[in-house]
Chain A
């Protein structure tokens, strides 16, 4: 089946540093990927839609300059949290639109902790 990986699975960083999270579709090409944020015991909050070769579309309230998204190839999208602060600590999950256009395949998530 369609597999999506994320790296790293967890990261701890100091306040003010930047962190890059990678999302890869391993056995299929994904022109569209999605980035979500999930708070404890809550649902997924869509942050942005990433389209290969074009700028990401951010949801209302998400700072595009803080959460930089790059989708440079059909199998890789990256999310960079710039100048991270403790309130950015969260579980970040990516998904890729699979070969069937109505189905998303999710990565395992990245736990970010900002000290």
Chain B
């Protein structure tokens, strides 16, 4: 079956530091890949997505590139802010649609 493995947290960074959260996946076919963000006490928000190999999703300074050769979709941001503190989930959705598979989430704390 499908699976998503995320970098374990928590991750603590200083403001303006570079962020990488690793995500690798196992799936048959060509899934769509997603990053979601969850702020405290809230539901998940779609942060970015990529639907095919070599696609780069980007939003709010965050980027992730769909790497089929390494089955990865690492999340990056060049300069984090305190407001980026949240839990980040990597997810995939298989080619036959239906349910998504989520990673365990990575908690990011950015200190001023």
Contact = CB atoms under 8 A, between A and B. Distances in A.
Interface of A: 4, 6, 32, 34, 41-44, 46, 49, 93, 95, 97, 101-109, 111
A106 B36 contact: yes
Interface residues of B, number: 22
Main secondary structure of the interface of A (DSSP, over half): strand
Q: In the complex, which of the residues B36, B42, B104 has the most CB atoms of chain A within 10 Å of its own CB atom?
A: B42
B43 interface: yes
Contacts of B49: 102-103
Interface of B: 32, 34, 36, 41-46, 49, 51, 89, 93, 97-100, 102-105, 107
6 contacts: A44-B44, A49-B98, A102-B49, A103-B32, A104-B46, A108-B43
